[in-house]
Amino acid sequence: MKRSFLLLLLCFTVLLSQAQTLGGNTVFNFLNQPNTSQLSALGGVNITNISNDVSMSFQNPALLRTQMNQQLSASFNNFYAGVKNASLVSAWHLDKSNTNIAAGINYLDYGSITQTDAAGNIFGTFRPNDYVVQVSASHAYKDHWWIGTTMKFISSNYAQYKSNGLALDIGLNYYDSSNYFQAGFVIKNMGTQLKTYDGAGKEELPFDIELGITKRLLHAPIQFSLTAHHLQAFNTYYNDTTFNTAEGIDNAAGKKFTAEKILSHLVAAVQFYIDEKIEATVGYNFSRRFDLNVYNATNGLNGFTMGLGVLLKKLHIRYATGFYQQNMFHQFTLNLNWKGDDL
């Protein structure tokens, strides 16, 4: 039965990968926003990190574990120009079915914006926002395998323009605790837009197929991760012909080198466990660097992210930051147990 499920899942993935589009042609792209400090520090994309952090299950439901029972994670991120991001995730273990479940929300508030018409007449202000509410479940299979799934309700509100949709994630995880090795596979955002912004035709969701590995060294306090995203398409660049024409650029996406197209799928990260209570993280997102280092606007630190964690018995505090040209974001996450148990 399990083998039949995995075979069906693989076939379903192949069919979907032929029908989905990439950024620039999709709706609800805020779903790609990291919901927690550890994920942000790891480069923004990671589905295999080995840690007792329930917020990471937001990205891969197969990362839900029994020891995350009644764990709560709250994250806060201040971006630029008054944009704020808040996330909340909690998990429970169901003994009778030996199943782990989690619920969470990721909310983005874009601040107060002046509302005008095409002539510049002011009609007041509005406060746009996006959010996703999701419920996840995971179950162990034999000794090393975990299967998980997530259901999402997505909402986007920009004054009179409102939209919502439903999406499904499916995750598979292999964990060898004796060798500190973990591998994962996730299909993200399979679903549909229920209500469109203008009542016209539906837009596609930001579908993504991700594959990752994490390895912690047996005799050194270091952990490495490598994650590949958007595996459903070789060229992830969106060719905006209108912009290219206006800027005098000839077929920008088409001229990308093969090596750059391959690297744009990858996110690399390393974590250092300074002692039992301190961890430091460095991540590198190739796609983000390529996107930000455009034309004359470059920064040698674009694509890099960093994080620091203080892991106390009953409270884990994590901080993450990263570079966007000359700007940096600051994200904080708190993890604790509802009952006050040790993490």
Residue 303, pLDDT above cutoff 90: no
Q: What is the pLDDT of residue 79?
A: 81
Task: Quickly count: other Cβ atoms within 10 Å of residue 298's Cβ.
Answer: 11
Q: Using CB atoms within 10 A of its CB, is residue 245 exposed (0-12), middle (13-18) or buried (19+)? A: exposed
Q: What is the pLDDT of residue 19?
A: 43
pLDDT tens sequence across 168-222: 999 999 999 999 999 999 999 999 999 999 888 899 999 999 999 999 999 999 9
SS3 call for 216: strand
Could you tell me which residue, 165 or 235, shows the higher pLDDT?
Answer: 165
Q: Beta partners for 308?
A: 280, 319
How would you label 93-102 residue by residue, b for 16+ Cβ within 10 Å and e otherwise? beeeeebbbb
Residue 111, pLDDT above cutoff 50: yes
Residue (of 60, 48, 55, 40) closest to 91 by Cα position: 55
Kindly report which listed range (141-145, 248-252, 329-333) carries the lowest average pLDDT score: 248-252
Q: What is the pLDDT of residue 136?
A: 98
Q: Residue range 295-315: average pLDDT?
A: 85
Q: What is the pLDDT of residue 256?
A: 63
SS3 call for 228: strand
Q: What is the pLDDT of residue 82?
A: 82
What does pLDDT average to over the chain? 88
Bridge pairing between strands 266-275 and 99-109: unpaired
Q: Residue range 82-110: average pLDDT?
A: 95
Confidence of residue 17 (pLDDT cuts 50, 70, 90): very low
- Residue holding tokens 């300074």? 274
Q: What is the pLDDT of residue 337?
A: 95
Q: Give pTM, 2 decimals.
A: 0.88
Kindly report which listed range (11-15, 40-44, 238-242) carries the lowest average pLDDT score: 11-15
